Every structure is written in structure tokens, then in C-alpha cells.
Amino acid sequence: MKIKFQNNQIEVKGPLSGFALAKLFDFKKPLAMIFNGEQLDLQRNIDTDGVLEFIDESHPAALEILRHSASHLLAQAVLHLYPHALFGFGPAIENGFYYDIDFGDVNISDADFPKIEAEMKRLAKENFPIIRRELSKAEALELFKNNPYKEELINEITDQISVYSQGDFVDLCGGIHLPSTGYIKHFKIQSLAGAYWRGDSNNKQLTRIYATAFFSKEALNHHLAMLEEAKKRDHRKLGRELDLFMLNEYAPGEPFFLNKGLIIRNELENYWYDIHTKRGYEFVKTPIILNRELWETSGHWFNYKENMYTTKIEDQDFAIKPMNCPGSILVYQNGLHSYNDLPIRMGELGLVHRYEASGALSGLFRVREFTQDDAHIYCTPSQLQSELIELLQLFDDIYSVFGLSYKIELSTRPEKNYIGDIATWDLSEQALANACKAVGKEFKLNPGDGAFYGPKLDYKLNDSIGRVWQCGTIQLDMNLPKRFQMTYIDENNEKKQPIMLHRAIYGSIERFMGILIENFAGNFPLWLAPEQVRVLPVNTQIHSEGAKKLNAALVEAGLRSSLDASNEKLGYRMRNAQLKKVKYTVVVGDQELANNTVTYRIYGNQAQVTVPLADFIARLHEEIASKALEPAPLE
């Protein structure tokens, strides 16, 4: 058989295992392999021609393999400690892995983590080979006859059934895995949660154990430190402490914005309107409740109904909009359009509602009611490339204001429940790829994750502590214009169908605010800060009147300033301003009143600076106008 590896191709007599091939090609420390595009364990034998690649610790797939194997190690340790435990699913996930376990009448808690970890370490040191076997359905059912969860899964499997064993433990699994348990050295059990079997609330609730694993102690410690930092930045915690928003059981998934939070929200909206106005957008506001017939035409009623809130009005079905697109289309159809009118860039901060299970709701990140910073662009085929390039540049401009870097994923046609023909999808996917290449933006393919009406570019933002957030999207749609019979008159006086681009940059204002709260840890840039200045009289009996006049002058200058002339000591009031993350704290005493100066301190900085009032106001105006991420250095 002929095996190609990197730039080498050799002819050998097979079959050969991955271990033998690694030795043959002198590849050091392989974990698994990829043969003709398929990931395989090293124990698997190769007996056909093909292209070979090895997976080592540096490979993008390595962590998932490690964590999948670590989930089996966790299950083996649990079985040793709790022999009657029954196991459900145990997959690798984005930052670790979990296992859903039925402990019967036994209740476990965080206090049990150390002994489970100790048993995992002992089993890892045993360095049990992790061995794959293929079984018939009858053999698998016999092996797992005492585990109803595995039996249910086995009865649904139509492909080859495989199991993996390590020492005295065996699990139903498709793979792939590390060569042995000895590779699993650096892990940490993190938390417990309840999880219904297969996510169905009609099924029994199992115990889900969350954990993570890395190839080095340094990487594990870095990850755990990041998680601790993330706890401090939790937007729900900071939202309470900084009086930004509240949640209430009478409106699950629908946040209440308090005064300070509304200031941030309004600043985000004002910036959005300003930058879009300069880019030639027009703005609309469309109804929240629309007739079923519209949603049937758009395809939402048949492809998205389980996420929609519906109601009846005078015996007709209506839906609260989960998306703004159909309303935008109705606005487009309100008049006749010539090719000279296009492109039309139509923006809307549209309130939408989508059903989310109560257990999935999470602060501002996962809600049922949110405002999308939507825009829909209607253009001709000849304008498509330039409009996409313009959008890519707009995304760049906006994200850079917040100091957020990003990566782009191109999500392609879903395997099912999509509308339109495949040829149109292929053209749309290629147009998005070409636009990225035209502006030098790299992208990663995300097969099958497109919207039901078209492919999309998804923006994955990186925050200040390295976390990744899904935010903006650009969706290319040649299907909805066809379904709604949208037209424009071209230069030959013929009716043509426009191309429709859906796009959101914040994604949702609520979620974007949550990301910003955590990204800045509540210490917002001055232009976003709900309280930009707090004025503190040194002695509330002597300096309060002068402090009051100074505060009024700052407010008159357009700054968000407040006065704290309470009877508490100055140190206490200063500390309280720091706890509320006020950007500039101003102290007013005898010298400041006599010289019309300001003594200020920047949040997080102990140094105090005294400057003329006019200079202080000019400094803040410049910082706000430039939307600086950090204050200028003290002089």
C-alpha cells in the first residue's frame, strides 16, 4: 500500500497500526492519527492507500481527544468509588468535559471531588492501554444489560458499535482516544449540576460532573486562574454591584435595565446610529406582532416555530417576531425600486422574542427578549462584492472601538431544514468567501451551521482574558427575496430579484452589554461609564457648597457627574467611589475652592493631580470624543 505523509510517500506491506506507522516515519509522541480525513486511534490498522497525518499535543484536535479520554478516566474512578453508579453521556466540550451519572440514592457534593481526583490520578499512573473493540448489537446489549441508559443508546445505533476498555472499565463509545491512561496527568473536577437524561424533563435527572484537562500543569493552572478572574467579572454579579440591571422571577429571561445600565445602553445605541448614518443607512421600526401568513411565507413558521411565541387575535394566528427580516421586507415592498435606488441599507434596533428553556437562561447572555442591532441591505448582484467588503470594514471599525479582536467562521448550508436550491447556496457561500479574501480576512469553515435561508459569516470575539464570544453575523440571502417575490427594475427596464444581506454587529444589545461588562470588569471607557465623575468635599460642613457648584459646572459641561456630600469620612466616600468603579474622583478642599482648580484621581490609580477646572473638562471631553479605551497618562 502507498502511504503519503507530509512530503514523503512510501510503499509498504500492510496492514500497519498507527504506532508502527509513527515509528516508520520517525514521528515523535503521537496521540492519534488522521487517515484520509478520518480521525483514528493509533491502535487501528491501515491496509489501504492514503494520506496520513499524526495528531500530537500541538494539533488543534489534541485537547478534545485528551478530554474525551479524561471523561472515561473520571467514569472509571467514579465506578471504583460508587460501584452502583450508572453512566449516561461523557463528551468533551469546549473548555473541558462532563459525565452524566445516575448515583442512585447516593448524594455527592463538592466535598467528594478530592477523593475522585485521587482515584483518577491512581488509575492514570497504572497506564492502562485504552483498547477499542467492535461488537454486535447482541454482544453490546449483553455487556450493558444492567445499564438502561446504554441499552437505550445501543438500540438506536445503526452503524458499527464500538466500546473502549481500560483496565477493569469498559464504555460504549465511538472514540477516538489516547493510547493509554498514562497520558492523562493534569485535570481538575470543577462543579456539579443536574441534567435530565437526554435533555428531556420527562426523564430522570442525573448528576453531571464537570471537569477539565490539559497536557501541562502550567496550562491547567492558567485556565483555572482565568476561571477565577471570570468569576470576579461575572456580569450578573457586577450588574448588581454597579446597579446596571436586575432580573425578576415575574419576567424570566427579560432583564430590567436600571438608570446606570440604561446610560450604557443608550450610549451604545447612539454610537450605532451615528456610525451607520455616516455609512448611508436609513432607519425603520417595524411591528412586534405579525400575522402567521407572513411567517409562513418567510419559512419561520415551519422551520423556527418551536422558538416563537404565538397568539390568536380575532381567530387569526399571529407571532411575536423572533427576527426583524420579514418586517424589513414589507418596508422594502412598500414602494417601487429602480437599480438606481440600490443598494438600500435599512437599519433597525428591533425588539425580538425567542423561547429559551428556563434552565438555559443566563443573565444578559441568554434571554427571551432582546434587541438586535439589525440591518438589511438590498443590492444588485454587481453590488454584492462591494457591499460585503464595506460590511467587513464596518465590523472592523466598530469592534476596534471596544478593543475586541475576532476570528471569522463561514457557516455553510445545513444538512436539512433549509430553503432554496443547492446551486444558490453554493454561489452564496462562495461570495462570502471571496469577500473575506478580498480584504485579507482569514476564515474557518463551519460546515452545516448556516441559517435555514442562507450561509453566514459569524464573528467570534476575544475578550481581555482570552474568552471567545459569538456576536456579529453577516448572512447572505438569495432565498427570502424569491419567496417574497421582491423586485427592482434594472437598466433594461426588466424586473430583477435583489440580493438580501442580513447583518448584526452587536448581535444583541443585551448580550453585547454583558460581554462589555465582563471584558472591562465594570471599569468602562469614559464615554460608556455611567458615572464619569464623582465630586467629594473634603469636609462636608465646610466644602459642600463649593463642591455642589463644581458638580453643577461639570454637569453643565455635559459630563455625567454626581456629588457625594454625605456625612461619612472622606476615606469612606473615596473607597465607595472606587467600589462603584467611578472613572474620575474629584476632591474639593480649601485650595481647590480658592484657586478654581480640580484635584482628581483616576479609578485604579492612587496618584492625585491638581489642574485648572477648564483643563480637567477639556481632558475629559477629549477622552470621550476619541472613545479612548484608557485615560491619557497623568502629567
Report yes or no: 498 and 488 within 8 Å, Cβ to Cβ. yes
475 as an active site residue: the answer is no
Report the sign of the C-alpha dihedral through residues 361, 365, 366, 371, in that order: positive
276 as an active site residue: the answer is no
Measure the CA–CA gap between 82 and 101, rounded to whole angstroms.
11
502 as an active site residue: the answer is yes
Kindly name the residue from 150, 265, 321, 354 that is annotated as catalytic.
Answer: 354
477 as an active site residue: the answer is no
354 as an active site residue: the answer is yes
The beta-strand segments (E) located in 380-467 are 405-411, 443-446, 456-462
173 as an active site residue: the answer is no
Kindly name the residue from 41, 373, 374, 463 that is annotated as catalytic.
Answer: 374
Element (H, E) at 349: strand 344-353
Measure the CA–CA gap between 508 and 512, rounded to whole angstroms.
6
Residue 536 bridge partners (DSSP): 587
Number of Cβ atoms within 10 Å of the Cβ of 285: 12
- Cβ neighbors of 515 (< 8 A, separation 6 or more) are 235, 461, 463, 469, 471
- Cβ neighbors of 453 (< 8 A, separation 6 or more) are 298, 299, 418, 419, 420, 475, 477, 479, 480
Q: Which amino acid appears at position 444 of this protein?
A: K
Measure the CA–CA gap between 3 and 17, rounded to whole angstroms.
12
123: alpha, beta or left, given left = phi > 0 and alpha = psi -120 to 50?
A: alpha
The beta-strand segments (E) located in 329-386 are 344-353, 369-379
Radius of gyration of the chain from its Cα atoms, rounded to whole angstroms = 30
Report yes or no: 46 and 14 within 8 Å, Cβ to Cβ. yes
CA 186 to chain centre: 26
29 as an active site residue: the answer is no
Any idea which residue has 481647590 for its cell? 592
Pairing of the two strands 50-55 and 2-5: parallel
Quick one: cell of 298?
418567510
CA within 13 Å, CB half, 72: 33
Helices (H), 4-61: 18-24
Measure the CA–CA gap between 322 and 305, rounded to whole angstroms.
9
Kindly name the residue from 76, 372, 475, 532 that is annotated as catalytic.
Answer: 372
The three-point CA angle 251-255-257 to 5° equals: 130
Element (H, E) at 298: helix 292-298
- In 3D space, the residue among 383, 386, 391 whose CA is nearest the CA of residue 475 turns out to be 391
Measure the CA–CA gap between 103 and 87, rounded to whole angstroms.
9
Q: Which amino acid appears at position 628 of this protein?
A: A
- Residue 23 DSSP SS3: helix
- In 3D space, the residue among 384, 553, 407, 398 whose CA is nearest the CA of residue 477 turns out to be 384
Kindly name the residue from 72, 345, 376, 573 that is annotated as catalytic.
Answer: 376
Residue 256 bridge partners (DSSP): 246
Report yes or no: 585 and 578 within 8 Å, Cβ to Cβ. yes
Quick one: cell of 543?
466644602
What burial letters (b/e) apply to 371-393, b meaning 16+ CB within 10 Å?
A: bbbbbbbbbbeebbeebbbbbbe
Write out the catalytic residue numbers: 325, 354, 372, 374, 376, 456, 502
